[in-house]
Structure 1
Amino acid sequence: MLAAMARRLARPLGLLLVLLVARTALPGFSSGLDRTLGEGAAALLDRTLWAATWLATAFLLVRALDVCVWQRRTPHLPRLLTDLVAALVWIAAGLVVVGRLTEMPLAGILTTSGVAVAVLGFALRDMLASLFAGLALNLERPYRIGDWLEITPGTVGQVVEVGWLTTRLLTQDGVGLVVPNAQLATRGFSNFDHEGGVWRDQVTVTLAYDVSPARAERILLAAAATVPAAHRTGRQPDARIVALGESGVTWTLRYWLQSYAERTEARHEVQAAILRHLYRAGLEPAHRRLDLFHTRLRPPAFEHRGRLDVLLARSDLFGLLDETDLRLLAAAARRRHVPAGEAVVRQGEPGSSLFVVVEGVLDVTIDRGQGPSRWVRLLAAGDMFGEYSLLTGEPRSATVCARTESLLFEITKADLLPVLERSPELARAMSRILTARQADRSSEVPSTPPPSPGGEHGLLQRIRAFFGLPGERA
């Protein structure tokens, strides 16, 4: 390190020593120079060497400050401040040289230059304001290279360069912004990359008044639970009511992010998840409407069964049933409200029912016997689980636990039995679908139980035996 410092100081120090030696040796050659080059040549050379000596001294001082002071400070001072100090050193040396060469007193030079600076400063007041604002910003360092700043509402860019007069930013659309430092110092800005490192973003959605607060909060939190970016900071999202308007109740889903760079994609994922969960719950964002009634309306009934048959019809397992059977099956299903953190089923326990997720998010895990349980997949609105136990009576093959407050419907063997008795051929179709589904899951997740022995035919026989259905006729 000392060797590097010496190398950087060698050139200005050598230059200064050469000039000092030349000035020292000049008197011995004065008479010869005057005879050779003319009267006054030695005096002109002396003044030139004197001026060069002062400039070489300024050069050495600037380099010494850079090597011995600025670079050894932790943290390093802003480059703008060090450049200003260097400029002051050069200006001071220049004033001394001008005063000596013109034989004017330094006070007179300062007075004359002061008037000129005043006139020039008035003409360049905006530029000087940006210059000193840049100095203040570099000293206080409210932002750094790479930070995301919001200059005006809706105008956000990443800092790529901080100059003497301006700060340059680049938006996510690739558009460059040049902002005067005076504007940043006087009007203010928002820094999304402060020392805390995390900040909260939000999206809003308006729901109808017939959606209860508990249900709306459950749906919104379930949507946020499916977006990894909303949980990366470790802080949990929340949902709050912000307004009661003509169209409905305006909700805000708030979540934490680590960087502004992921804001656009995170907002897209969160809003897409909200629409997906609302769609599966049979809801949609509220819109302006005008209702005209000629008679008194009955109080609305909040019922989920009306869309349970729709969810069943969309599934490959129950999509074979007609509308009558779907409505009967939905009417017989039992509603289950599961708080967050509670297990719906546990691996290895007996079971003979299937669950349909109407609202909420659940985690599926498998106990491997040694070590922690393995997470398999996430269940959201519209998904179902437990179909193998429903059709065969086998113990549960995995543990399903509610990540958020969830609403489920349970369909038992007794609910499905009348449907299979009326249409025995459905058992074959269900065995074929269930066999294909087990094969797919076994290939994706090795810990999943293997397909039933005997394949589709063996599973069909087990379903018939479990439900007491007659076998095939010869």
Structure 2
Amino acid sequence: MPQDTFLLTVLINLLGVAGIVVWHLQGRSRPNERLVTQIVFFLAMTVALVFARIVPFRFDAPHLDSSGSLIVLAKILWWTHLSWATIGFVRIYIVLDGRPREARLIQDLLVAIVYLGVLLSVMAFVFGVPIGTLLATSGVFAIILGLALQNTLGDVFSGIALTLGRPYTIGDWILLPDGTEGRVVASNWRSTYLLTGAHNLVVMPNSVLAKQGLTNVSKPDETHQIVLAVRIVPTHAPALVQMVMLEALSSCNSIVQEPPSSVSLMGIDASAIDVQLYFRVMNPGQRSSARNDVIDLVYRHCNANGLVFARPLGTQVFQDGEIAAPKMSALALLRSIALFSDLTEGEREQLSAGAVEKKIAAGEELLAKGSVSGRLLLIGEGVVLLRDQGEIVARLAPGDMLGARGVIAGQTESHQALTLTPATLYEIEKSTFDNLVAGRPGLIEDLARRVGHHGSHNVSGSPPPIKSDGTRADLVHAIRVMLGGS
């Protein structure tokens, strides 16, 4: 071997080994730098091969001396750096293209193809192994292995099809025909993992998912519609029933208000008006709590407007006078407010005797932000908004109360309160409340302590931290636990 060829061969081997060392020292956290390093060393080795007149993709029987071994090693290193450069391009493409996490399945497949191609090339062009004969011989073995691993291979190729089709991505909530539903938390060659609402991990083989239809609840967005059926005794006009149901939905803080919820009158007969309520939640995980809130608010608004729930189908037909709607009054509201649970019946009657019923139009301000309320306001009908700098903080319904901070604790209102719909309020002046507590010195301290214990969760206080979904369910839940008992 000529001296210059020998030196170039040594240089190629040194470049190959140095490239491997530098590649490992850079680590996986720097893929761009790794790719640049691979390209630089690969190009340098290619230039050296050209000057040394060594063709890496042509088999030349090596000599049995040291120079022949160096040429064999140089070819192996060149093919190794070629595979690493190709794999680097594949990984960079997937990252820059913004592919989801499950695209790693495609990446692993391409990497395996690259390594297999390089291995066969080294066997053919470096060691002179007849690849055609080898592939023909291994075909029979591949058939036997494929039959033995039929189910596993079905899962693998189904996983590839699901990844390319992208019916779901990591983090999506999906619903299967058998009723199984959950959030996709992981996906690999064989299985997809779902985290259900019961916090159980369901492992679904990819072949099973590929063979059945599924519903992606997270597309086009996370909001999820819920349908709630209600039956009302036909003692009032259907238009009034529809209006009351819309008010109940508009007062709920656990559901999405834009786009607005809707009410559909499904039918009417002598026993009931069938109504269906359509509303949306921020994500499927909130369905249960939102449904609970809507049912509670439907009950409140029906009681406030004199609507009676009809008996279920198949039971005794409703007769006039058999069921009467509870009459809404200041006394009934005081009985339902948890803040006044320690009052005796006589003390509640004393407060209710001083209550004045008022009809308020929609859009009227009830309490100004920063003011100290001199009256308790019990909501009998309608919906009241709490706003802060133009943003809706909470929605209040029949059975909620305003002004407790000022009357009981002498604190200012943290939000503006105004009516969203026409409302019926019961006003109790601070003087009436002062006359009640005059005979019980410890009562005012106890009530003030309750308001202070719940902090700003009095209806006119500051809201708690907002959830990641943007709702104020915690605020209203605390308000109604303290003041509404629900």
Tell me the TM-score range normalised by the shorter chain.
0.5 to 0.7
Structure 1 position 200 matched with structure 2 position 236: no
Amino acid at match of 2:83: V
Instruction: Give 1:104-115 correspondences, 5 Å limit.
Output: 104=130, 106=132, 108-115=133-140
1:189 CA displacement:
1.7
| Equivalence for 2:179 | 154
Deviations 1:322-360 (A, max 9, x none): 99x98x999xx9884845x4567999xxxxx99864332
Q: 1:284 to 1:57 in 2, by over 3 A?
A: farther
Residue 287 of structure 1 aligns with which residue?
Answer: 311
Q: Does 1:401 align with 2:418?
A: yes
* Shift in alpha-carbon separation, 1:179–1:86, aligned structure 2, 3 A: same
The aligned residue for residue 271 of structure 1 is: 295
Report the CA distance between 1:81 and its aligned residue: 1.6
Percent of aligned pairs with the same amino acid: 23
Aligned to 2:399: 382
Query: Counterpart amino acid of 1:5?
Result: L
Answering whether residue 65 of structure 2 is matched by residue 29 of structure 1, we say: yes
Instruction: Indicate whether 1:90 and 2:106 are aligned.
Output: no
- Which of 235, 240, 253 lines up with 2:259 in the alignment? 235
The answer to whether residue 154 in structure 2 is matched with residue 129 in structure 1 is: yes
Q: Which amino acid in the other structure matches residue 226 of structure 2?
A: Q
Query: For this pair of structures, how many residues does the alignment match?
Result: 396
Deviation, structure 1 residue 406: 4.0
> Structure 2 regions of 5+ residues with no counterpart?
1-29, 370-374, 405-414, 461-486
Q: CA deviation at 1:283?
A: 5.7
- Contact 1:55 1:90 survives alignment (8 Å): no
Change (3 A) 1:152 1:376: closer
Taking the aligned partners of 2:276 and 2:400, their CA distance within structure 1 comes to 26
Q: Could you tell me whether the CA contact under 8 Å between 2:224 and 2:284 is conserved in 1? A: no
> Structure 1: which 5+ residue stretches go unaligned?
33-41, 348-352, 367-371, 388-397, 414-424, 449-474
Deviation at 1:64?
0.7
Call closer, same or farther: CA 1:11–1:282 in 2, change over 3 Å.
farther
Separation of aligned partners in 2, 1:103 and 1:345:
90
Distance 2:210 2:35 in 1: 37
**AA aligned opposite 1:197:** D
Aligned position for 1:186: 211
Distance 1:198 1:385 in 2: 34
1:251 pairs, out of 275, 282, 301, with 275
* Residues 338, 81 of structure 1: alpha-carbon distance in 2 compared, 3 angstrom cutoff: same
2:333–2:380 Cα contact (<8 Å) kept? no
Query: Structure 2 matches for 1:455-470, cutoff 5 A?
Result: none
SS at match of 2:92: helix
1:70 and 2:68 aligned:
no
Change (3 A) 1:170 1:125: same
Name the SS of the counterpart of 1:159 in structure 2: strand
> In structure 1, what is the Cα distance between the partners aligned to 2:80 and 2:187?
26
Answer whether contact 2:267 2:273 (CA < 8 A) is retained.
yes
Question: What is the alpha-carbon distance in structure 2 between the residues aligned to residue 376 and residue 173 of structure 1?
Answer: 30
Residue number in structure 1 paired with 2:381:
359
- How far 1:290 moved relative to its partner? 0.6
State the TM-score, normalizing by the size of structure 1: 0.60
CA distance in 2, matches of 1:411, 1:76: 59
- Distance across 1 between alignment mates of 2:80 and 2:249: 61
Contact 2:87/2:114, CA 8 A, preserved across alignment:
no
Kept after mapping to 1: 8 A contact 2:45/2:78: no
Structure index of larger Rg: 1
Following the alignment from structure 1 to structure 2, what is the Cα–Cα distance between the partners of residues 377 and 335? 22
Q: 1:441 to 1:65 in 2, by over 3 A?
A: same
What is the letter of the counterpart of residue 308 of structure 1? S
Quick one: distance in 2 between partners of 1:243 and 1:65? 67
C-alpha spacing 1:133/1:313, structure 2 compared with 1 (3 Å): closer
Letter in 2 for 1:291: V
- Partners of 1:63 and 1:237 in 2: how far apart? 56
Q: Among residues 44, 51, 60, which one is paired with 2:81 in the alignment?
A: 60
Q: Evaluate the alpha carbon distance shift between residue 440 and residue 64 of structure 1 in structure 2; reply closer, same or farther with a 3 A threshold.
A: same
Structure 1 residue 5 corresponds to structure 2 residue 28: no
1:315-334 correspondence runs (5 A): 320=346
CA deviation vs aligned residue, 1:224-254 (integer Å, no higher than 9, x gap): 44443314x7432223345669974443333
**TM-score for both structures, normalised by structure 2:** 0.59
Conservation of the 8 A alpha-carbon contact between 2:234 and 2:270? no
Structure 1 residue identity aligned to 2:159: G
Q: Please tell me whether the aligned partners of residues 166 and 181 of structure 1 are also in contact (alpha carbons under 8 angstroms).
A: yes
Q: Does the C-alpha gap of structure 1 residues 428 and 175 become closer, same or farther in structure 2, counting only changes over 3 Å? A: closer
> Is the alpha carbon distance of 1:320 and 1:374 closer, same or farther for their aligned partners in structure 2, counting shifts above 3 Å?
farther
Aligned partner of residue 198 in structure 2, secondary structure: coil
Structure 1 residue matching 2:255: 3-state secondary structure? helix
The alpha-carbon distance between structure 1 residues 183 and 378, as it changes in their structure 2 partners (threshold 3 A), is closer
Query: Aligned letter for 2:199?
Result: G
Task: Pick closer, same or farther for the CA change 1:162–1:243 going to 2, 3 Å.
Answer: farther
Separation in 1, partners of 2:78, 2:347: 96
Q: Distance between the aligned counterparts of 2:208 and 2:263, measured in 1?
A: 36
Change (3 A) 1:364 1:110: closer
- Letter of the 1:177 counterpart: V
Change over 3 Å in CA distance of 1:29–1:80 after alignment to 2: same
Helix, strand or coil for the counterpart of 2:88? Answer: helix
Name the SS for the 2:65 alignment partner: helix
Contact 2:262-2:278 at 8 Å conserved across structures? yes
Cα deviation, 1:340-390, whole Å, max 9, x if unaligned, reads x4567999xxxxx99864332113679xxxxx6898986421357799xxx
Alpha-carbon distance between aligned partners in 2 of 1:176 and 1:76, rounded to the nearest angstrom: 27
Q: Which amino acid aligns with 1:167?
A: T
SS at match of 2:170: coil
Cα drift, residue 93 of structure 1? 3.7
Instruction: Output aligned runs, 1:295-306, within 5 Å.
Output: 306=327
Between the aligned partners of 1:191 and 1:66, the Cα distance in structure 2 is 33
Q: Secondary structure at the match of 1:204?
A: strand
